[in-house]
């Protein structure tokens, strides 16, 4: 049996955005981080996503970030271009075409909670603005609105360059219904590290991961084990990653605070988060050391 394709790779890291001590974008550090991630298990990268602190990046910073990382690594790059403003998302998606990225990751509109008809129009408008592949991103805990399965199926069947979904909806049973009825070449990526193994069981081809900042090789090994039919080994590896999944984000230390903390512990220059996420708790780096020790 042939393995499912994964046009952007099996392990795609939703990369943090490095800042210097003054809070300015650090392009040298971004290039170095991208190269380090690729050397440590990442098949592709997402830039300027939620983990990349997109809400606090300017348009010019996103352009500079994409260009710097493209020059540093030769792996698939996805640029986050979604917004709660359809016109803005369209312009950001048009701009992405000139940056050397391989696709765009488009989150559903957040906060304004549009109806399904509004979501349908939004995704079609964004996809029409580019020839690049479009990966939908459904994360209702952050956006306040679930993209209905019926809406996603219409888009998947009717819009040629909508090629897949990053699923962080937390409902594998519903996603199984989507995958049953989606086109054969529609690719599902886990958008929640803790649900990657369950989503592989219903057809996921890989993960857009946060924990892959420090556990990329292990996540890749888990996915490979599952896909070759060694489910016992996949379960074993997944069990060893549970502390990493739990560390990646919490109410007291939301994503991407923990990723930046653990990278600092590893000696990789990323700086702190920008406000309002800039106030990391004192216990975070000591806990990061414990998580890394548990992986060893």
Tokens describing residue 173: 């049973």
Catalytic residue among 122, 166, 189, 260: 166
The reply to whether 245 belongs to the active site is: no
Contacts of 108 (CB under 8 A, 6+ apart): 82, 119, 122, 123, 136, 137, 138, 139, 143, 145, 147
Catalytic residue among 137, 189, 245, 260: 137
Beta strands per DSSP E along 130-289: 134-138, 162-167, 187-190, 206-209
Q: Which pLDDT value is given to residue 279? A: 86
Q: Which pLDDT value is given to residue 2? A: 60
The parts of the chain modelled with pLDDT lower than 50 are none
Query: What are the C-alpha distances in Å from 43 to residues 7, 155, 186, 249?
Result: 10, 27, 19, 22
Q: How many helices (H) and strands (E) does the chain have?
A: 12, 8
How many Cα atoms occupy the beta-carbon half-sphere of 213 within 13 Å?
Answer: 36
Is the Cα torsion angle 258, 260, 263, 264 positive or negative in sign? negative
If phi over 0 gives left and psi between -120 and 50 gives alpha, with beta otherwise, what is residue 3? beta
Query: CA angle, corner 66, sides to 63 and 69, nearest 5?
Result: 145
Q: Which residues, listed in sequence order, are joined to residue 103 by a DSSP beta bridge? A: 78
Q: Which pLDDT value is given to residue 197? A: 98
The whole-model pTM stands at: 0.97
* 75 in Cβ contact with 38 (< 8 Å): yes
Task: Measure the N-to-C terminal CA separation of the chain; round to a whole number of Å.
Answer: 34
Spell 75-91 as b/e; 16+ CB within 10 A means b: bbbbbbbbbbebeebbb
* CA-closest candidate to residue 88, choices 55, 52, 66: 55
How far is Cα 23 from Cα 85, in angstroms, rounded to an integer? Answer: 26
Beta strands per DSSP E along 170-264: 187-190, 206-209
The reply to whether 260 belongs to the active site is: no
């Amino acid at each position: 049996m042939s393995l499912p394709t994964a046009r952007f790779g099996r392990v795609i890291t939703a990369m943090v955005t490095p800042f210097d001590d003054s809070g300015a974008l650090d392009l040298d550090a971004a290039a170095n981080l991208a190269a380090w991630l690729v050397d440590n298990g990442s098949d592709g990268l997402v830039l300027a996503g939620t983990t990349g602190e997109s809400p606090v990046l300017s348009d010019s910073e996103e352009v500079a970030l994409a260009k710097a990382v493209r020059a540093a690594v030769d792996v698939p790059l996805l640029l986050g271009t979604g917004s709660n403003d359809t016109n803005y998302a369209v312009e950001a998606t048009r701009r992405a075409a000139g940056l050397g990225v391989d696709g765009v990751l488009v989150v559903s509109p957040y906060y304004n909670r549009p109806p399904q008809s509004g979501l349908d129009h939004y995704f079609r408008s964004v996809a029409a603005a580019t020839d690049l592949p479009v990966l939908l991103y459904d994360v209702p805990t952050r956006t306040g609105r679930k993209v209905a399965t019926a809406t996603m199926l219409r888009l998947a069947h009717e819009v040629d360059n909508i090629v897949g979904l990053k699923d962080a909806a937390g409902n594998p049973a519903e996603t199984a219904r989507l995958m049953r009825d989606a086109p054969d070449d529609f690719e599902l990526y886990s958008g929640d590290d803790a649900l990657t193994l369950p989503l592989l069981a219903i057809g996921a081809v890989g993960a857009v991961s946060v924990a892959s900042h420090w556990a990329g090789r292990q996540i890749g090994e888990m996915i490979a084990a599952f896909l070759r039919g060694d489910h016992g080994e996949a379960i074993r590896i997944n069990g060893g990653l549970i502390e990493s999944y739990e560390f990646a984000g919490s109410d007291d230390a939301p994503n991407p605070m923990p990723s930046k903390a653990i990278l600092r512990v590893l000696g990789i220059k990323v700086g702190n988060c920008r406000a309002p996420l800039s106030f990391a708790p004192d216990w975070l780096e000591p806990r990061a050391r414990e998580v890394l020790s548990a992986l060893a």
